[in-house]
Amino acid sequence: MDELTFRRHVLANPFSQDAQVIQAAHQDPVKQQFWHDLKQQELALQQALQIDVPHDLADKLLWEQVSQTDTANFSHPTPPRRPLWFAIAASVLLSISIGWVNFNSKEHKFYDDVIAHIEHVSTHEITGDVITLAALNSKLAKFGGVINAALGKILSANYCVIDGVESLHVQLGDPDNPTSVFILPKDVTVTEALSTNHIQGEILEYQSANVLIIGTVSQTFSQITEQLVEHLAFSR
């Protein structure tokens, strides 16, 4: 293989596996060196083309699709949002069920399980690993949900089963006093108001899902609730 043919071939495809090209390189140190240098340049080129991608680009693209092209297929929370006021102090979460009023037995059992889940599982779910918005959105996708902006620190995002209902449990905010967000299928009824004190709860009702927010720190809870109202949407 002559020099020009060889160079044209490897310059068009530096990682060619063509037998004739390989043989030509073996037989000629000049060709071999040229090819070696070219491969090094190609590796550098591959690296150079990998420019940084905005970390939230995928979420922006998903949100654009939600908000501009097909808004009819997505729902935001249906006003009014329903507050849940819990009667018992945060330090005795397990006893909360005693203080609840006006529940039918089915909902009562469900809330018991929610609080039991928070009490027993939540701290183990917070591993200290960084949970990206993209990772959260990939789990929300199962419910047809998407969040289009950062919500602050995402402590955990795990599927769980509460009272036989598959849900997504997300913890946000301060690791010592996290706010819990449960993404629930629409067929789960969580509508009863509760009496008041240290633990706050709120239900965001969407057309295809219900979102239950439970927190103990008023300011954080309110901020997270407002952010979810603004930035969380579900496909119908």
Site residues (vs another protein, CB under 8 A): 7-8, 11-14, 37-38, 41-42, 44-54, 57-58, 60-62, 64-65, 68-70, 73, 134, 137-138, 141, 144, 146, 235-236
232 closest CA partner among 193, 206, 200 = 206
Closer by beta carbon to another protein, 34 or else 85 = 34
In the complex, minimum distance from the CB of residue 61 to another protein, in angstroms, rounded to a whole number: 5
Q: Which two tokens stand for residue 235?
A: 């496909």
Coil, helix or strand at residue 183? strand
Phi, psi for residue 167 in degrees, rounded to 5: -140, 175
Closer by beta carbon to another protein, 75 or else 223 = 75
Which residues, including other chains, have CB under 8 Å from residue 94's CB and lie 6 or more apart? 115, 116, 119
Q: Give the angle 97-101-104 at the CA atoms, nearest 5°.
A: 90
Closer by beta carbon to another protein, 153 or else 236 = 236
- Alpha carbon 67 to its chain centroid, in Å, reads 18
Decide if 190 contacts 212 (C-beta within 8 A).
yes
Q: For residues 140 and 135, what is the distance between their CA atoms, to the nearest angstrom?
A: 9
Decide if 216 contacts 120 (C-beta within 8 A).
no
Closer by beta carbon to another protein, 108 or else 139 = 139
User: Cα dihedral sign for 56, 58, 63, 64?
Assistant: positive
Closer by beta carbon to another protein, 84 or else 147 = 147
Decide if 86 contacts 198 (C-beta within 8 A).
yes
Closer by beta carbon to another protein, 13 or else 189 = 13
Q: For residues 65 and 149, what is the distance between their CA atoms, to the nearest angstrom?
A: 14
In the complex, minimum distance from the CB of residue 6 to another protein, in angstroms, rounded to a whole number: 11
In the complex, minimum distance from the CB of residue 52 to another protein, in angstroms, rounded to a whole number: 7
Closer by beta carbon to another protein, 106 or else 142 = 142
